[in-house]
Structure 1
Amino acid sequence: MEGFADFLANPLVYLSMPVISAIVGYGTNVVAIYMMFHPIEFIGVYKPILGWQGIIPRRAAKMAGISVDTITEKLIDQKEIFSRLDPERIAEELEGPLNNMVEDITNQVMLEHQPTLWESLPNVVKNQIYKRINREMPEIVAEIMSELKANIEQMYDLKDMVITNLTRDKALLNTIFQEVGYAEFKFIARSGIYFGGLFGVVQMIVWLFFQEWWLLPAFGLAVGYATNWLALQMIFNPKEVFRIGPFNIQGLFMKRQEEVAKDYGRLVSQELITPANIIEAVLKGPYSDKVFAMIGRHVQKAIDEQTSIAKPFVTFTVGTQNYIRMKNSAVEKIIGNMPDALKHVESYADDALDLQNTLMTRLQALSPEEFEGMLRPAFEQDEWILIAVGAALGFMVGVFQLIVLFGDEMGITGGGEAAGQAAVMLLQSTGLT
């Protein structure tokens, strides 16, 4: 009964063990969560060994790839996105800015290549030219949009757009996982207190009967390891609901499918798959050369049609080569102004695509196995590192307990009076005394 006698002689020291264990569990879980997301860029001496970068930012390309697979395979693909855009409506939205752009570009091209001829033309003639071109522009835009939709696989890559944006903006990638799983990360942190305290009670009871120097470090390691592991299991398992008496049991993330779907739909539609990002991807993505070639082909065709009657006179006046240079110059200037012009369709495109509601309703309809893929990749990548870090920190705290609380008994210097003071201060800080 030596253990009980020791307990009665030093109750605060023993009672501090569950408290320390709870703090260890909480602390290791908080550290593990932080290490998932931070730092965004590598900090250390030699990448990737001597230093650290948050697991999600470090695996940004792979994480983004997993996310976009879920989006394109289960929620929406690029064909459906563009099928919701009406070419005629796009032309209407662009009519105003294109009219202004055409007038400016016509003046620039003519003054650059044929300043004398252009300046000698009466304003009435110039205005007729502007009006004729502007009258044809909506049809040209509608033709370009129709061809884009018909050949969207060769003109736009949704997966490349999402991966490019998420790898370029790692903070956004962090935000997506953090907002989608905020309740789960909060649970992981708090579960450290519950599981850690429970392990601490077991640790205290075992220590009453069995006092070996390795026991406290071993329990610390077990607490750091098990609290992380158990929390992860409770988040994703069981996937399907099953009843135990009056209770419905299901993984915490699975329970929140409806809520997560709303947050995810809002976040992705407002920050990632936006009309502005889609336009940028079309004009700057891997198929941009094909897009510009298509636009150039339509614009050159329109110029030839506009000048078809007067073309012999035009080519005689300015020369065939100069006429070709004028056409190419006009095409280049129109393409250069496209990004600014297309900003005028963003509001219409946002309403037409209705991505937030689409993503939300389809995410709510996913099976538990499919839904798990929204958050599980954040944990699966190097999950063992997080658990190992928790175990290592727990082990170090176990060594601290051994030295500070029971150093004298174990024949380790650094115990004694400091142990009692540390225990009293710890219990006072937690409100247990």
Structure 2
Amino acid sequence: MLEAVWLEFSAHWVLYLSMPITSGVVGFITNVVAIKMMFSPLEFVGKPPILGWQGIIPSKAGKMASIAVDTIVPRLITEREVFDRLDPVRVAEEIEGPIINLVNHMVEEIMSEFEPGIWETLPRAAKDLIIHRIQADSPAAVAEVMKDLRNDIENVFDLKDMVVTTLVRDKALINRIFQETGSEEFKFIGVSGLYFGCLFGFFQMLGWMFYKADWQLPLFGLLVGYCTNVVALRMIFQPQSPMRLGPWKLHGIFHKRQKEVSRDYARLIADEIVTPSNIIEAVLKGPYSDRVFMMIARHVKRVIDDQSGIARPFVAWTVGTRQYVKIKEVAAERLVERLPDAVKSIDVYAKDAMDLANTLACQLEVLPPPDFEDMLRPAFKEDEWILILVGAALGCCVGIAQLILFTYLG
């Protein structure tokens, strides 16, 4: 029997040796395709909801972001920790210039809109005096607003909502976070498909040499596509802690890189998501924006009233009490609307003061393995059965093609 097998192998050795190579290529391609399907395309392509595809991560950006951010908020960093590092007086100093310019334009704009007759008849010196007095009080008002925000931060700012909202709005960004954080793991998935595919293909070759059945090659192809994905995914996260197996030290690739991953993850969060500009926008437009508006409006109205001074009754009588109240309300609304652009000048100071990248990196480095895994695991765990199924189907198709080729040449 062995002699017959050897003769068969000698006659078709090219075909037999092609099996491990083909299996390796199949393993590599199926794994790479699986990775691509995780991230691409960003939007659904095809006819929803079934005929087509959208990358798993973009399609469930909200859920993915929520799961991933649970690792950070509130266990590693809180809203109070972010704001406590900002000095209200220093913030006021940093944005004094933009706020003064903003006040200048707003006073001219609002008075010309609501009371053009009165405003136009005022001498230029009187106009400048009004604008100057409001400008002079603005930095102090900003500092008071910042103090109020710090004292009530949990009720006016939702850090988790801000992170999730940012990632849902920018699907490319959530892709980038997973891709950069797990860059080595994704490379391993592709390369491991080649290695494991060649190994499985070797056993496929031996099986075909001794026993030929029409179902054998498609079945082996299916197993190659399935097993290379499953084994690669397991090796990324298991074991969570180092363990010895004879002369080998086994440790999940992701966990082995905890320090490096922590630095990359923290940098992306600090540079792309929890930025000063995003925080300000989230405070002004987030779920608690009404409370923030009332807080800012209170200070704006007080500044206007203070600058009216002893002439306040005369001003109210001249423009009308209702109109005077309306002017204060519109001033508060437009200030809140334009603040995000005006406060961009604090980005450098706020980023240094919060030092978020270093804070997060240090805390992520010492996270217990199960908690650390939760940062990246959702990208693989969510619907990973689809990726494995696709790999198995592709492998089966290649096995069928091999069977047709072998039958034709045999």
Check whether the contact 1:219–1:395 (CA below 8 A) recurs between aligned residues: yes
Q: Give, as a single letter, the amino acid of the residue that structure 2 aligns with 1:314.
A: V
The corresponding residue for 2:167 is 166
Rounded to whole Å, the distance in 1 between the matches of 2:118 and 2:24 is 86
TM alignment of 1:407-422, pairs within 5 A: 407=407, 415-416=408-409
Rounded to whole Å, the distance in 1 between the matches of 2:201 and 2:320 is 92
Rounded to whole Å, the distance in 2 between the matches of 1:59 and 1:317 is 57
Report the alpha carbon displacement of residue 18 of structure 1 after superposing the two structures with TM: 1.0
TM alignment of 1:370-409, pairs within 5 A: 370-405=371-406, 407=407
Q: Give, as a single letter, the amino acid of the residue that structure 2 aligns with 1:361.
A: C
* Cα displacement string for residues 112-164 of structure 1 (whole angstroms, at most 9, x for unaligned residues): 34444444444444343333222222221111111112222221222221111
* Cα displacement string for residues 308-332 of structure 1 (whole angstroms, at most 9, x for unaligned residues): 3222332343332332233233323
For the pair 1:261 / 2:262, whether they are aligned, the reply is yes
Rounded to whole Å, the distance in 2 between the matches of 1:203 and 1:18 is 8
The corresponding residue for 1:143 is 144
Q: Give, as a single letter, the amino acid of the residue that structure 1 aligns with 2:280.
A: I
Rounded to whole Å, the distance in 2 between the matches of 1:345 and 1:9 is 76
Rounded to whole Å, the distance in 2 between the matches of 1:124 and 1:95 is 23
TM alignment of 1:5-404, pairs within 5 A: 5-45=7-47, 47-404=48-405
* Cα displacement string for residues 317-355 of structure 1 (whole angstroms, at most 9, x for unaligned residues): 333233223323332332333222112222221111111
Rounded to whole Å, the distance in 1 between the matches of 2:320 and 2:218 is 90
State, as a whole percentage, how many aligned pairs show the same letter.
55
Report the alpha carbon displacement of residue 246 of structure 1 after superposing the two structures with TM: 4.8
Rounded to whole Å, the distance in 2 between the matches of 1:253 and 1:315 is 67
Rounded to whole Å, the distance in 1 between the matches of 2:398 and 2:123 is 89
* Cα displacement string for residues 81-116 of structure 1 (whole angstroms, at most 9, x for unaligned residues): 111111111111121122222222223333334444
The corresponding residue for 1:423 is none
Check whether the contact 1:25–1:195 (CA below 8 A) recurs between aligned residues: yes
State the TM-score, normalized to the length of structure 1. Answer: 0.90
Q: Give, as a single letter, the amino acid of the residue that structure 2 aligns with 1:233.
A: R
SS of the residue aligned with 1:44?
strand
Q: Give, as a single letter, the amino acid of the residue that structure 1 aligns with 2:129.
A: Q
SS of the residue aligned with 1:307?
helix
Rounded to whole Å, the distance in 2 between the matches of 1:8 and 1:330 is 90
Report the alpha carbon displacement of residue 238 of structure 1 after superposing the two structures with TM: 0.6
Q: Report which stretch shifted further, 148-157 or 226-235.
A: 148-157
Q: Give, as a single letter, the amino acid of the residue that structure 1 aligns with 2:158.
A: D
Alpha-carbon distance change, 7 to 167 in structure 1, aligned in 2, over 3 angstroms: same
Rounded to whole Å, the distance in 2 between the matches of 1:52 and 1:368 is 33
SS of the residue aligned with 2:107?
helix
SS of the residue aligned with 2:309?
coil
Check whether the contact 2:92–2:142 (CA below 8 A) recurs between aligned residues: yes
Computed over aligned residues only, the root mean square deviation of the Cα atoms, in angstroms, reads 1.8
Alpha-carbon distance change, 107 to 52 in structure 1, aligned in 2, over 3 angstroms: closer
Rounded to whole Å, the distance in 2 between the matches of 1:207 and 1:332 is 77
Rounded to whole Å, the distance in 2 between the matches of 1:113 and 1:35 is 57
Rounded to whole Å, the distance in 2 between the matches of 1:115 and 1:200 is 85
Report the alpha carbon displacement of residue 59 of structure 1 after superposing the two structures with TM: 1.4
* Cα displacement string for residues 151-201 of structure 1 (whole angstroms, at most 9, x for unaligned residues): 222212222211112112111111111111111111111111111111111
Rounded to whole Å, the distance in 2 between the matches of 1:226 and 1:88 is 60
Check whether the contact 1:3–1:207 (CA below 8 A) recurs between aligned residues: no
Q: Give, as a single letter, the amino acid of the residue that structure 1 aligns with 2:176.
A: T
Unaligned runs of 5+ in 2: none
Q: Give, as a single letter, the amino acid of the residue that structure 2 aligns with 1:23.
A: V
Check whether the contact 2:284–2:336 (CA below 8 A) recurs between aligned residues: no
Give the length in aligned residue pairs: 408
